[in-house]
Amino acid sequence: MSFLDQVINKAQAIIPMERQVQGMHMFQKARQFVLGDKQPVFVEKKIPDVDEVALTDIDMSNPFMWRQGQWRPYFKRLRDEAPVHFRADSAFGPYWSVTRYEDILTVDKDFETFSAEPQIIIGTPPEGLDIKMFIAMDPPRHDEQRAAVQGVVAPKNLDELEGLIRSRVQEVLDSLPLNETFDWVDKVSIELTARMLATLLDFPYDQRRKLVYWTEVTAAGASTTGGQSDVDEMWRASADMAKSFSALWHDKAARLAAGEKPGYDLITLMQMSEDTKDLINRPMEFLGNLILLVVGGNDTTRNSMSGGVYALNQFPEEFARLRADPGLIPKLVHEIIRWQTPLAYMRRVAKKDTVLNGQFIRKGDKVVMWYASANRDERTFENPDNFIIGRPNARNHLSFGIGVHRCMGARLAELQLRILWEELLARFDDIEVVEEPEFAQSNFVRGYTRMMVSLTPKG
Ligand code: HEM
């Protein structure tokens, strides 16, 4: 470690973390004032039908693709005509789109050619907010940090969590209104994921919605994913998070030092691991690991909870099969996650010149693995746009990625969805989506912002 690094580390250990974040914010604001603000602004325009567009002009980074339902024909054309496709000048710079299932397997498994550093989103975060997370690190650093925290979702911990998850699901479902329409996204999907995250972090339960707010703001930057978050708001949310999470860290450390039995929450696990026990002294990395877990488990699970209801409304004969045989629930869960594909892609950067499916990719090029397309690839999934509970290879979906970065929370997400559907079928004959849902503005998160439903209790 250089002398400068040592000085910075010392300073970081003394100055409260939120002050450091606020300091960085002030510095970046001053810089922006001098250099000008480079944040893109996205205004929604009608996306033309895919056959009206030249192949080279196709731009899957348009954050309105999902909202306007154009993503399916666009991806189909790319899979058929240009499965490894170069877009020279998007709002996020040049990038390759990889859209076939088999090609994505090749990229995701080869971390020596395709690096997850420095970011896994198409764009670039606002200067200074490039928070370090192990999802965006290559081995060996990635492996050390992942190993330190993955105990939180180890099977033993999940077994212990199951009862708790079920009682939280029951509480939420038992409080739903029966004689009026309501927003499923707010009352069920967000509420349940917030409760789960608060449990994993041992975060003050009554403040759980803060976790949702922070992650929404930090994951929706214009320069990162084409979202709407204001940069100052992102900085303020980061400072707030830093304050809360470091208070949680210090509180836990004091309790451990006083001889309290260690719990299984994320912060305790970090404090017990050699590699992460001093993470508090590396603020951006500390924040990054917590944000990763919170963002990782927030938008994804939440949108699967909404996506499942939406899918079953579009395929009512599948809903009828499920109602008649709740034993199908484990298969339902795989199909929901395939069909929804809550995160549209992960990005890599080529570490050396390489050839992928006949295309020459240069060292330094951005390569985007479109899981949303892989999961609809007719070469792998028969009738891929149909929602079919029990399709033979549903669990081979790529929604969790594959390789060293394969989702750490996959089993937890599946567990939550299984319990949700068990409890739903025990209570309701129907969950009717009464109007078209509203979708998030993002090229990354395939999110629902509002979905009005009405419930029919079991007769
Ligand atoms: C990584 C999706 C739920 C925590 C990932 C990746 C994807 C993903 C696509 C990157 C895979 C790759 O690069 O190959 C999903 C989906 C979920 C979900 C679709 C729900 C349906 C969760 C939950 C948690 C979580 C509940 C929290 C406990 C993580 C973490 C990583 C990750 C920590 C980074 C793993 C690494 O880099 O080694 N997830 N996720 N995810 N996910 Fe999830």
Residue 182 β-bridge partners: 453
**Each residue of 300-323: b (16+ CB within 10 Å) or e?**
bbbbbbbbbbbbbbebeebbebbe
Pairing between β-strand 93-98 and β-strand 345-350 as defined by DSSP bridges? unpaired
pLDDT above 60 (res 4): no
Give the integer Cα–Cα distance in Å for 141 and 249: 22
Rounded distance from Cα 225 to ligand 1 centre (Å): 17
Per-residue confidence at 20, pLDDT binned at 50, 70, 90? low
Return the pLDDT at 1. 42
Give the integer Cα–Cα distance in Å for 344 and 381: 17
Average pLDDT over residues 396-405: 98
Return the pLDDT at 443. 95
pLDDT above 70 (res 52): yes
**Atom 43 in ligand 1: residue holding the nearest Cα:** 407
Ligand 1: nearest atom to the Cα of 404: 38
Ligand 1: nearest atom to the Cα of 149: 33
Q: Over the stretch 59-76, which tens digit does the pLDDT of each residue have?
A: 999 999 999 999 999 999
**Atom 5 in ligand 1: residue holding the nearest Cα:** 407
- Quick one: what percent of the chain has pLDDT higher than 90? 62
User: What is the rounded end-to-end Cα distance, in angstroms, of the chain?
Assistant: 68
ipTM higher than threshold 0.90: yes
Q: Over the stretch 300-323, which tens digit does the pLDDT of each residue have?
A: 999 999 999 999 999 999 999 999
**Atom 26 in ligand 1: residue holding the nearest Cα:** 297
Ligand 1 neighbours (beta carbon < 6 A): 108, 134-135, 146, 153, 292-293, 296-297, 300-301, 304, 337, 342-343, 346, 399-403, 405-409, 412-413
Tokens encoding 254: 């004091």
Express the helix, strand and coil content of the chain in percent, nearest 5 each: 55, 10, 35
- DSSP H stretches of helix in 82-140: 101-109
For residue 142, give every residue at least 6 positions away whose Cβ sits within 8 Å of its Cβ, in sequence order, or none.
Answer: 116, 134, 404, 405
Return the pLDDT at 282. 79
- DSSP H stretches of helix in 258-384: 266-272, 283-314, 316-324, 329-340, 371-374
Ligand 1: nearest atom to the Cα of 150: 33
Packing angle between helix 283-314 and helix 316-324, nearest 10 degrees? Answer: 90
Rounded distance from Cα 307 to ligand 1 centre (Å): 17
With the most atoms of ligand 1 within 8 angstroms of its CB, the residue from 189, 400, 416, 444 to mutate is: 400
Burial of 452 (0-12, 13-18, 19+ CB in 10 A): middle
Tokens encoding 156: 């033993």
Rounded distance from Cα 330 to ligand 1 centre (Å): 19
Q: Are 84 and 98 in contact, with CB atoms under 8 Å apart? A: yes
pLDDT above 80 (res 128): no
Ligand 1: nearest atom to the Cα of 120: 13
Rounded distance from Cα 427 to ligand 1 centre (Å): 30
